[in-house]
Amino acid sequence: MKSYCRKALNMRIFPNEQNGKAWDQSVMQRNYEVLLVSQFTLYGILKGNKPDFHVAMAPQLAKPFYDSLVERFRKSYVADLVKGSGLGTSEHKSDKPLDESDNQTSQVDTT
């Protein structure tokens, strides 16, 4: 989890306006907010005409895992800039709208 957090916060996925380089700055360099969303459905497979989530983490394990992930990000970055949303939470509340141009969804394999 520590490795995933470090990778995610340091991925250079945003442009640098000073030098014009694309994919040059990280969330931390830009001082952006981080919204962590539980995506258990990414581990679903299609069985016939129905989705099957048996390969997903069990809810009683997923909730503490997700909570510890959010906490790890908060300790590794600016706590107030890390929000959690998912698994029964609705923590992300903001007066400012999400800027879709700066949205980035990435899957990082840390195995």
Count Cβ atoms within 10 A of the Cβ of residue 33 and give its class: 0-12 exposed, 13-18 middle, 19 or more buried: middle
Query: From the CB of residue 76, how many other CB atoms can be counted at a distance below 10 Å?
Result: 17
Catalytic, out of 41, 89, 105, 111: 41
Q: What angle do CA 91, 27, 96 make, to 5 degrees?
A: 45
Q: Which pair of tokens denotes residue 68?
A: 């510890």
In which element (H, E) is residue 35 found?
Answer: strand 34-37
| Single-letter code of the amino acid located at 19 | N
111 catalytic per annotation: no
Positions marked catalytic? 41
